Amino acid sequence: MIYKIFIKNKIILITDNIQILKHINEKVLIKYQPDLNEIIDLLKQFADDDLHQQLILINYKLEDFYIKFYNLFKVVLGAGGVVFNEEKDKILFILRNGVWDLPKGKIDYGESDEKAAIREVC
C-alpha cells in the first residue's frame, strides 16, 4: 500500500513496500524507518529543497506510522469542483501562487461541503 501526499508541486510517498525503489529517478529523497522527530526535520528540509521532487518514507508498521505522521498536521477541510463548459469544450482552471489548479478552497465553519464547493467555483 502507498499513501500519496501532495505538497505544492512535490509528492510524499509513505509505504511499506521497498519494491517501489525499483521505479525511482534521481530526484527522490528516501528515508527508511524514520522516527517522528526525524520526520519533522526532514519535512522542513524537503520543503526548501529544490533538488528533490519526491520524498519516500518506508516503514514496515505502515498504518501506525501513517497515523502518527497524519497527526503531525492540522487538517483543513476543503471543497471545490470541475467547471466544464460543454459549449466551448473547456475546463476552468485558476492560477494560484503561480500554479494552475482547479477551483477549491477551505470550508467555512458551519458550511456544508456542497455550499463551499459552489461558492468556490462560482
Q: 46 or 21, which is more confident? A: 46
pLDDT in tens, 28-78: 888 888 888 888 888 888 888 888 888 889 999 999 999 988 998 888 899
Average pLDDT over residues 21-33: 79
| DSSP per-residue letters across 16-77 | S-GGGGGG--TTEEEEES--HHHHHHHHHHHHH-SS-SEEEEE-SSHHHHHHHHHTTS----
- CA-derived radius of gyration, the chain: 18
Cα(97)–Cα(85) distance, rounded to whole angstroms? 24
| CB-count burial class (<10 Å; 0-12, 13-18, 19+) for 11 | middle
Which candidate, 31, 37, 39, 38, places its Cα nearest to that of 15?
31
Q: What is the pLDDT of residue 48?
A: 84
How many angstroms separate the Cα of 17 from the Cα of each of 4, 93, 94, 105?
Answer: 13, 35, 36, 33
Cα(14)–Cα(4) distance, rounded to whole angstroms? 7
pLDDT in tens, 87-111: 999 999 999 888 888 999 999 999 9
pTM higher than 0.85: no
